[in-house]
Amino acid sequence: MAKSSSRKDLRNQQPPSSAGPSSIGGALLGAVVIVLASALLGIIVNQLSPRGIPLLPRSGSASEQTPALALPPGVARVDAEGALAAFHAQSALFLDARPQEEYAEAHIPGAINVPPHSFEERFLDLMDQMDEGSALIVYCSGVECSDSIALAERFLEVGCSDIGVFEDGWRAWVAAGGAVAEGLEP
Amino acid sequence: MRAGRLLRVLGHPVVGALCRLVLAGIFIYTSLPKLMHPGEFARLVYGYRILHPDMVNLAGITLPWIELAAAAFLVIGIIPRSSALVLAGLLGLFIGAGFLALARGLDIECGCFFPFMSDHKLTWGLLVRDAVLILFALQIMAWPSGFLPVRRARRQPSAS
């Protein structure tokens, strides 16, 4: 009985033509309430959460351009100019955190491809290629990717200290006229 | 005649339920990882180069909650028309942001699905997908119905 009555109710839904101004206004009001209430809830949860991020990026320390893009403590930010200088001076080992296919298409000459998920299996191999205390510069596609930071964190965990993240990454390198190598070999 | 039949099909409760479940399911699925990783999501938002950097974190914090709330309301049938309107608005926002990014030649990850690390690039095809999802939202707005009997119960307070 209840089943048939609820079916009937469903079939008697209003057709689109009956959506008058009041129902449109009500829908808009409801939408505004959903947006404001859920945004407020999100802000409160973020403030209480250990994973929370600052609401206003630049209100903190002056060195933090955008704490959403905050780097782990001990990791330096490297811009395209700094990356080019390190490349020409051969003062740092470049690590490419992008997927292997993108690395094979083009990468910074000498850079080793280490997607973060392959860190464990590549670790011993990497240690062989790194001089003790050598500086590392990690990069991925661009500022929107997090793989370079994830990889930098892995190196921090195993005790490496001189690590820089080239945040603007591969696209900035190309735009700055940096040298390019192709294939799977560094 | 054909238009009438089409409207009857579009307005059928099963079609409505499917639209609601698909739309809400997608948004719930995509919002949860963003909720848990606001920093990474804010970074993806920043990659679109549309918002001022000062606004990036606020968007990264609030957008997933708005998605989740509207999708949850849609599933349980509370104010479905408003919930669908919110999701349609978000989809419109994503299309606009994606269009601007692609028009400027940005080669970025779309940030649509978790895990963020996967190579899920922003493409024109994704904007078309969002446009199709807007049609789902329009169906719900035109023929709103509750999945759970919340609205019916509210309409019949003195049924006993």
Domain ranges of chain A: 17-52, 67-175
Structure confidence at residue B64 as a pLDDT band (50, 70, 90): very high
What the block records as the tokens of A18 is: 């009956």
Q: Which of B36, B57, B83 sits opposite A55 (nearest CB)?
A: B57
Residue type, A61: S
Residue type, A145: C
Structure confidence at residue A105 as a pLDDT band (50, 70, 90): very high
In tens, the pLDDT along B1-17 reads: 577 888 888 888 888 88
ipTM associated with this complex: 0.82
- A12 by Cβ neighbours in 10 Å (0-12 / 13-18 / 19+) ranks as exposed
Nearest CA in chain A to B86: A31
Contacts of B109 in chain A (CB under 8 A): 141, 144-145
pTM to 2 decimal places: 0.64
In tens, the pLDDT along A6-60 reads: 444 444 444 444 445 557 888 899 999 999 999 999 999 999 988 888 887 544 3
Distance from the Cα of residue A89 to its chain's centroid: 29
Listed in order, strand segments (DSSP E) in A75-161 are: 75-78, 92-96, 112-113, 135-139
Interface check A6 vs B, CB under 8 A: yes
* CA A55 – CA A59 distance, rounded (Å): 9
Largest CA distance in chain B: 63
Q: What is the structure's pLDDT at A70?
A: 62
Structure confidence at residue A74 as a pLDDT band (50, 70, 90): confident
What the block records as the tokens of A61 is: 């320390």
Please answer whether residues A181 and A108 qualify as being in contact, where contact means their C-beta atoms are separated by less than 8 angstroms. Answer: yes
Nearest CA in chain B to A147: B117
The lowest-confidence range among A8-12, A87-91, A122-126, A143-147 is: A8-12
Cα–Cα separations (whole angstroms), residue A20 to A30, A139, B33, B79, B136? 15, 55, 38, 16, 20
Q: What is the structure's pLDDT at A95?
A: 95
CATH fold, domain A67-175, is Oxidized Rhodanese; domain 1 (3.40.250)
